[in-house]
Structure 1
Amino acid sequence: MTMRDEDPTRPVPEGRDDGPTRPLRKGPDAPTRRFSTAVRGALADTRPLRTPAYRRLWTAGIVTVVGAQLTVVAVPTQIYLLTGSSAYVGLTGIFGLVPLVFFGLWGGAIADAVDRRVLLLLTGAGIAAMSLVLWVTAATGVGGVWLVLCLFAVQTAFLAVNQPTRSAVIPRLLPAEQLPAANALNMTVVQAGAVAGPLLAGVLIPVIGLPTLYLLDAVALLATLWATWRLPPVPPAAPEGRRQRAGLQEIVDGFRYLALHKVLLVSFLIDIVAMGFGMPRVVFPEMAERTFGDPRGGGIALGLLFAAIPIGMVAAGLFSGWLHRVSRQGVAVTVAICIWGAGVALFGLTHSLWLAVLFLAVAGAGDLVSSVYRSSMLQTVATDEMRGRMQGVFIVVVAGGPRIADLWHGPAAAGFGPGTAATVGGVAVIVAALAVVARYPQFWRYRGATA
């Protein structure tokens, strides 16, 4: 039977268009059906939630990320209250970066050598304990800015081990073709919490006081600890008969592996460019008060500025169903990072709060697309034996880039103004990202698996 002789009533495989013989195109309600199908295809892919272990982690994260964002707002706001200086707030960069680099790299090696479930439990408990100590110090007034910075550094060390371990668990729970969807779901929840958390913090600080935010964070972490407890064992995937270690040699081996895989290397470099030049969060407390009229100590403008980037990421995540159909992932990452840089640059130029929120939200949408594809590249290209170490490098880059931005945004804001610092950083993102991709064209040509 030829194609011309086929039965027109036979279902046509998805993705194939046989023109006027396609039954779904007939009838007065066909445009409505096509619109409905297009909308469903654009919405987030929820197939990973059919896996119980992943679903529990994802659901617990809805509660936990809100609490975590309360601390994200509380630490720089407390430091600004103690000192009145964005330069001191910028010190969170060095106090966060040093433990992040050391424990992120070492934590990735540990994640390749021990049961990842046990490691998640230990580090999650450590993060909660530090939030409790920060609550005690803030509530009692014991110590000063240096104590807050030191406690922040210890909490960052626990986080630096926890995050690569968590990311390395996901490919053991889901098939490879579902990883982009899972990453989009994860980031959507994280950023939804990053929207709700700062807004909630802006409302709660005048009502219950800044110290209580730390306590709420510690309580919220119980949800993730419960979900982690319910995970199956996730033992190391070392070759049979070989016991994996977590020493300096294993960390060095991870860097050698990274140097041989240029797609992974560039995915890290381009994110350092995006965050190291472009993340303007250090200037938020000063701009909220001096540009947008917040009262001293924070208010709704502060909450909106911290929430704006996550708002854009959530919006992009809710309509991320198309992401798994894109094969030119290197191109997608490059374009997305340029959108991030443009949004940050425009944010620095405006004196309207609502335009500032809009520009930061556009930047956030670009950041979500970039993050989804870079995470999927790592989880696909790296073998399970190396995945913990690669995730360790990943968390150092993802969290370390903003710390680098903190270091220079603070002094730049003090010297030239917060808006100028943000705009210069956004423009630098675009220029440097294009330069990196031009140097390594294989990243631009990279194609990922599609569902």
Structure 2
Amino acid sequence: MRMDLGPLRDSRDFRLLFGSGVVTMFGTFLTLVAVPLQMKELTGSYLAVGLVSAAEFVPMVVCGLWGGAIADALDRRKIILWTEAGLCLTVLALLVNALLPDPQVWVLYVVGALSAGFGSLQRPSMESLMPRVVRHDQLAAAAALSAFRWNLGAIVAPGLSGLIAASYGVSAAYAINVVTFLVSLALLWPVKAPPQAEDSPDASLRSLVDGLRYAVGRSDLMGTYLVDIAAMVFAFSTALYPFLADQFGVPGALGLFYSASAVGSLIASVTSGWTGHVHRHGLGVILAALVWGLAVALAAVMPTVWTLFACLAVAGAADMISGVFRATIWNQTIPDSYRGRLAGIELLSYTSGPMLGNARAGLMAQLGGARFSLGAGGLLCVGAVAALTALLPRFRDYDARTDEHAVRERARREELARTQAA
């Protein structure tokens, strides 16, 4: 059950990326709480809060796909550094807007879209570096450590953000995020990204289409994307948290709600040693997604803050396990020449879902209230995952020991390691 720390011990570049990720996640979650809170204060509208995520969708899709293409063609380290600087500037814009006597609502939408664009350009390069700085047999452990990093920030930052926003205003949360991006840039600078192969494809529409064709041709990969999108679209509902806190009469519980899923994920992360012994990763993703949907549905009928917190924590643990197994399938089977473009598609699966999920949650809450939106979304998630399980048998039956792509990639990496050692 103990978490495997091998990637941190063995890879200097992974340690730098991990450290940068810890700092960035801390700041990002401060803003993740501050933006919907500020939108709620400015408008008081369910729909307005949900549309913050909707505004990010188009730039996320376009930049995510293009980010995958340039990750396979250009210097991944430079892409990461430039986009990190761009993300820092977007938070600086939010800070300036918050300090105005009359903050503008449109700024939250426009800057949110820009931030989604920079983040989507960066993520494929960041994700495609993982298999190049970590040994093949440590990829599951690296995925668990990355989830741990994210969840650590998700637990600490939301509660602290609620405290900072209540005491000093949302501008303080934005200011801290600017500082975290500067620290992250200092950590990313020394990373030594391996050079691109001489036969790397150009960053073009043709190479992008080639990557999409490769993904569509593998139903095991499509299963990881589709199950995650279904789970997030129907059951992701963080836009409801400010309103649920008001309904319970404890506005101070807002940070607690944002932290709940991260608490569950963190517990799952630190006990994730068993995931390295699992080979049926597709089935693992399916079971975890079903638990996620059921936990969200149960949260809708919980009578107290703490029982709601418990359900959200269980959902978070299930989501973390799903993420580890999805990342393991990707990292163990995708050739390096496609890794950036496929990372762009991965980004669509695990970022478009939450964005659309929040928009869906806001719309359904506008029609039937926050609890109705939460419960109906969880049940719809269970139904959608069950349907995809029946439609995607190759994904359901995926086994890393026998899958042709996993076997081929493992042999390639072992041969590469022998060549480098010689």
Indicate the TM-score class for this superposition, using the shorter chain for normalisation: over 0.9
Matched, 1:294 2:254: no
Q: Distance in 1 between matches of 2:172 and 2:113?
A: 20
**Cα offset for 1:431?**
1.1
**Deviation at residue 345 of structure 1 after TM alignment:** 0.5
Q: Using the alignment, how far apart are the partners of 1:165 and 1:354 within structure 2?
A: 39
8 Å CA contact 1:114–1:235 kept in 2: the answer is no
Q: Distance in 2 between matches of 1:386 and 1:229?
A: 25
Partner of 1:403: 355
Residue equivalent to 1:136: 96
What is the TM-score with the length of structure 2 in the denominator?
0.93
TM-fit CA distance, 1:254:
1.1
Structure 1 stretches of 4+ with a deviation exceeding 6 A read none
Q: Which amino acid aligns with 1:146?
A: W
The one of 131, 138, 157 aligned to 1:178: 138
- Residue 168 of structure 1 is matched in structure 2 by 128
Alpha-carbon distance in structure 2 between the residues aligned to 1:234 and 1:145: 43
**Amino acid of the structure 2 residue aligned with 1:43:** R
CA contact (8 A) 2:233 2:360 kept: no
Q: Deviations over 1:245-282 (max 9, x none)?
A: 11211211111000111111111000001101110111
Alignment map for 1:11-410 (pairs within 5 Å):
42-50=1-9, 51-141=11-101, 143-237=103-197, 239=199, 244-289=201-246, 291-295=247-251, 299=252, 301-410=253-362
**Partner amino acid, structure 2, of 1:249:** R
**What SS does the corresponding residue of 2:300 show, helix, strand or coil?**
helix
Structure number with higher helix proportion: 2
Displacement of 1:377: 0.8
The structural deviation recorded for 1:142 is 5.2
TM-score, normalised to structure 1's length?
0.87
- The amino acid that maps onto 1:265 is M
Structure 2 CA distance for aligned equivalents of residues 268 and 284 of structure 1 = 26
Post-superposition CA distance 1:297-342 (Å, at most 9, x none): xx2x100111111111001001001100011111111111111001
Q: Which amino acid aligns with 1:364?
A: G
Q: 1:26 is matched with which residue?
A: none
- 1:152 counterpart letter in structure 2: G
On the 8 A contact 2:297/2:378 being kept in 1, the answer is: yes
Contact 1:308 1:364 in 2 (8 A): yes
1:225-246 alpha-carbon deviations (Å, 9 max, x no partner): 122211113332352xxx5211
Q: Equivalent residue for 1:9?
A: none
| 1: CA distance, partners of 2:207 / 2:54 | 26
Relative to 1, partners in 2 of residues 1:261 and 1:138: Cα closer, same or farther, differing over 3 Å?
A: same
Question: Which residue identity is paired with 1:427?
Answer: L
Q: Which has the larger radius of gyration?
A: 1
Q: Secondary structure at the match of 1:448?
A: coil
In structure 2, the residue matched to 1:38 is none
CA RMSD of superposed structures (Å): 1.4
Matched, 1:421 2:369: no
Q: Deviations over 1:59-100 (max 9, x none)?
A: 232222111100000111111111001110011122111110
The one-letter amino acid paired with 1:395 is L
In structure 2, distance between residues paired with 1:237 and 1:346: 50
| Count of residues in Structure 1 that have an aligned counterpart in Structure 2 | 402
What is the aligned-residue identity percentage?
A: 36
Distance 1:234 1:136 in 2: 38
**What residue in structure 1 maps to residue 415 of structure 2?**
none
Cα distance in structure 2, aligned partners of 1:161 and 1:129: 15
The answer for unaligned runs of 5 or more in structure 1 is: 1-41
What residue number does 2:396 align with?
444
* Structure 1 residue 348 displacement after superposition: 1.1
Asked whether the equivalents of residues 238 and 385 of structure 1 are also in contact (C-alpha less than 8 Å), the reply is: no
Question: Equivalent residue for 1:37?
Answer: none
